[in-house]
């Protein structure tokens, strides 16, 4: 167990282990959310819903869930540049986080004592497992759910991704540092800052209205034309409900704003830049090039004066 702890410490700034975890307490919320169609056309959530209730139902034979968090690439923390630019969500900057987790957990496995996991068949599942990752990570003490439905960590705010490794070997539980209190209290900045009004209420997001859904997951499912009418210049994903969150304040960008790799000036070089950025930001390949270029065209043609709610004036990330 010591060798696993050491290996996890080397890869993740915070991590936890759940041993034979019980069903996630928020299961009924999830089912209610699905039954009201708030997941839109994310059919995989519906198909795998029964498996998401607990580790044992999702992955029979697996007893331990090792979870780690990886903060966003430090080049991502530049503030929004204002009119005339398209923006790429911060989680997509740099190497794709699925790959980062796969490499990190693979290194963990290579470093631990071979006697620790005899005959195990580890499964590395960053994001794509049939797991309610935020609820499970909360159970592992890696933060608490905010009203924007993202997990908030006491040190890293919400700007991190979550990855899981499933093991058949029973391991002792290891809880990280749970948020000592409700992270939100009377705050509701994220609910107000959302450019498409995607929050039905605190803790309940209508995915069909979220710009992340409308630019990455299901751009064809935009009956109300929200992507365009929002006037918000997101090319890929969206971060507004994180920018305004006080728990994300005070991060220093690693590169000056002019060199930030997450902005695309909406000028005649934009198309070439987007083609190049696909090689730099691994997650951008989750959207086809033609989809990105058509969104670029939409932003150029919209003539909108993109407002940047939250940046600066409401105490968003101060950089
Ligand atoms: C589907 C999905 C989406 C959908 C739906 C988002 C959502 N909030 O569910 C869309 C495409 C919109 C999306 C967007 C984004 N996503 Co996403 N997404 C997922 C995915 C694959 C499943 C999430 C899920 O199960 N949703 C179903 C809903 C019902 O679950 P839920 O919000 O967790 O709901 C719980 C609580 O809200 C609570 N609850 C519900 N109702 C109520 C009511 C009350 C009163 C209370 C108290 C509680 C409560 O119980 C629910 C069940 O657990 C996860 C990975 C995974 N396997 O879990 C990543 C994940 C959640 N996404 C992630 C990220 C980074 C994003 C974006 C920031 C990307 C971007 N910049 O564009 C945005 C953020 C938008 C937002 N505010 O959530 C990260 C979040 C990391 C973190 N710190 O929390 C995850 C965990 C991926 C990862 N492995 O890192 N995503
Ligand atoms: S990611 Fe953007 S569109 Fe989606 S809920 Fe947050 S602020 Fe709204
Ligand atoms: S902005 Fe405020 S309400 Fe929203 S998640 Fe952050 S602390 Fe909670």
Q: Which residue of 212, 218, 232, 295 sits with most ligand 1 atoms within 8 Å of its CB, as the best mutation to test the pocket?
A: 212
The strand ranges marked E within the chain are 14-19, 64-71, 85-88, 123-125, 144-145, 151-152, 160-167, 199-201, 204-205, 234-236, 263-265
Q: Which residues of 297-313 are buried (b: 16+ CB within 10 A; e: fewer)?
A: ebbeebeeebebbbbee
Q: How high is the pLDDT of residue 4?
A: 95
What pLDDT shows up at residue 318?
26
Q: Considering the domain boundaries, does residue 318 fall inside one?
A: no
Both tokens of 105, joined, read 């957990």
Tokens representing 108 are 């963990």
Residue 139 falls within a domain, yes or no?
yes
**Residue (of 11, 209, 12) closest to 110 by Cα position:** 11
Q: Is there an atom of ligand 1 within 6 Å of 96 CB?
A: no
DSSP 97-119: HHHHHHHHHHHHHHHS-TTSSTT
What is the arithmetic mean of pLDDT over 247-265? Answer: 82
User: Residue 203 CA: which ligand is closest?
Assistant: 1
Mean pLDDT of the 109-127 span: 91
Angle (CA) 137 138 142, round 5°: 70
- The closest alpha carbon to 309, from 319, 301, 317, belongs to 317
Calculated CA dihedral for residues 112, 113, 117, 123, nearest 10 degrees? 20
- Kindly state the average pLDDT of the residues 121-134: 95
Mean pLDDT of 222-229: 95
Question: How much is the pLDDT for 74?
Answer: 86
Confidence of residue 310 (pLDDT cuts 50, 70, 90): very low
Q: What is the mean pLDDT of residues 218-239?
A: 95
- Closest-approaching ligand to the CA atom of 194: 2
pLDDT band at 307 (very low <50, low <70, confident <90, very high): very low
Return the structure tokens found at 128: 């794509």
Answer yes or no: do 61 and 128 share one domain.
Answer: yes
- The tokens describing 129, both together, are 């497992």
Residue nearest to atom 1 of ligand 3 (CA): 245
pLDDT band at 92 (very low <50, low <70, confident <90, very high): very high
Residues 53 and 9 in one domain: yes
Residue 158 and residue 237 in one domain: no
Is residue 193 included in any domain, yes or no? yes
Q: Which of 134, 167, 200 is the last residue of a domain?
A: 167
Q: What is the pLDDT of residue 258?
A: 67
- The share of the chain scoring above pLDDT 70, in percent, equals 93
Any idea how long the chain is? Answer: 319
Strands 234-236 and 85-88: parallel
Q: Using CB atoms within 10 A of its CB, is residue 267 exposed (0-12), middle (13-18) or buried (19+)?
A: exposed
Instruction: Supply φ then ψ for residue 99, to 5 degrees.
Output: -65, -40
Q: Is 314 part of any domain?
A: no
Of these residues, 127, 182, 221, 267, which one is catalytic?
127
Supply the pLDDT for residue 316. 30
Helix axes 97-111, 2-11, angle to 10 degrees: 150
Predicted local confidence at residue 174, as pLDDT: 95
Do 220 and 134 belong together in one domain? no
Name which residue sits closest to atom 57 of ligand 1, judged by CA. Answer: 127
Distance of CA 134 from the midpoint of ligand 1 (Å): 7
Confidence of residue 312 (pLDDT cuts 50, 70, 90): very low
The residues lining ligand 3, judged by C-beta closer than 6 Å to any ligand atom, are 146-148, 183-184, 187-190, 244-247
Give the pLDDT score at 210. 98
- Give the ligand with the smallest distance to the CA of 158: 1
User: Quick one: pLDDT at residue 46?
Assistant: 97
Q: Which domain does 64 fall in, by range?
A: 2-72+96-167
Convert the pLDDT of each residue in 8-62 to its tens digit. 999 999 999 999 999 999 999 999 999 999 999 999 999 999 999 999 999 999 9
Whether 51 and 136 map to the same domain: the answer is yes
Total domains, the chain:
2
Whether residues 153 and 281 fall in one domain: no
Per the domain annotation, does 291 fall within a domain? yes
Quickly state the pLDDT bin for 229 (edges 50, 70, 90).
very high
* pLDDT at res. 268: 86
Using the structure block, give the residue that is written with the tokens 């050491």: 6
User: Phi then psi for 256, rounded to 5 degrees?
Assistant: -60, 155
pLDDT at 255: 74
Report pLDDT for 168.
Answer: 97
| pLDDT at position 302 | 64
Binding site membership of 245 for ligand 2 (Cβ less than 6 Å): no
Is the pLDDT at 120 greater than 70, yes or no?
Answer: yes
Asked if residue 131 and residue 16 are part of one domain, the reply reads yes
Task: Assess whether the C-beta atom of 54 lies below 6 angstroms from ligand 1.
Answer: no
What is the model's pLDDT at position 301?
85
The protein residue whose alpha carbon is closest to atom 50 in ligand 1 is 26
* Rg, Å, the chain Cα set: 20
Percent of the chain with pLDDT over 90: 78
Calculate helix-pair angle for 289-302, 270-280, nearest 10 degrees: 140
Q: Is 127 a catalytic residue?
A: yes
């Amino acid at each position: 167990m010591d060798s696993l702890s050491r290996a996890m410490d080397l890869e993740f700034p915070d991590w936890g282990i759940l041993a034979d975890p019980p069903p996630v307490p928020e299961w009924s919320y999830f089912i209610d959310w699905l039954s009201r169609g708030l997941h839109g056309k994310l059919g995989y959530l519906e198909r795998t819903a029964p498996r998401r209730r607990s580790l044992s139902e999702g992955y029979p034979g697996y007893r331990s869930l090792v979870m780690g968090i990886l903060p966003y690439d430090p080049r991502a923390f530049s503030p929004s540049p204002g009119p005339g630019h398209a923006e790429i969500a911060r989680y997509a900057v740099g190497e794709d986080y699925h790959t980062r987790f796969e490499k990190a957990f693979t290194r963990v496995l290579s470093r631990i004592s071979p006697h620790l996991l005899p005959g195990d068949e580890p499964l590395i599942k960053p994001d794509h497992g049939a797991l309610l990752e935020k609820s499970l990570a909360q159970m592992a003490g890696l933060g608490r759910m905010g009203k924007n439905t993202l997990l908030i960590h006491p040190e890293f705010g919400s700007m991190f991704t979550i990855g899981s490794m499933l093991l058949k070997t029973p391991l002792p539980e290891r809880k990280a540092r749970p948020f000592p209190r409700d992270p939100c209290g009377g705050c509701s900045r994220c609910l107000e800052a959302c450019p498409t009004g995607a929050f039905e209420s605190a803790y309940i997001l209508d995915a069909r209205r979220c710009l992340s859904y409308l630019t990455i997951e299901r751009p064809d499912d935009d009956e109300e034309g929200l992507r365009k009418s929002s006037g918000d210049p997101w090319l890929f994903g969206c971060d507004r409900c994180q920018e305004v969150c006080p728990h994300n304040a005070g991060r220093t960008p690693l590169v000056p704003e002019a060199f930030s790799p997450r902005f695309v000036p909406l000028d005649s070089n934009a198309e070439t830049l987007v083609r190049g950025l696909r090689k730099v930001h691994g997650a951008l390949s989750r959207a086809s090039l033609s989809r990105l270029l058509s969104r670029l065209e939409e932003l150029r043609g919209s003539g909108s004066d993109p407002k940047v709610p939250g940046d600066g004036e409401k105490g968003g990330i101060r950089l």
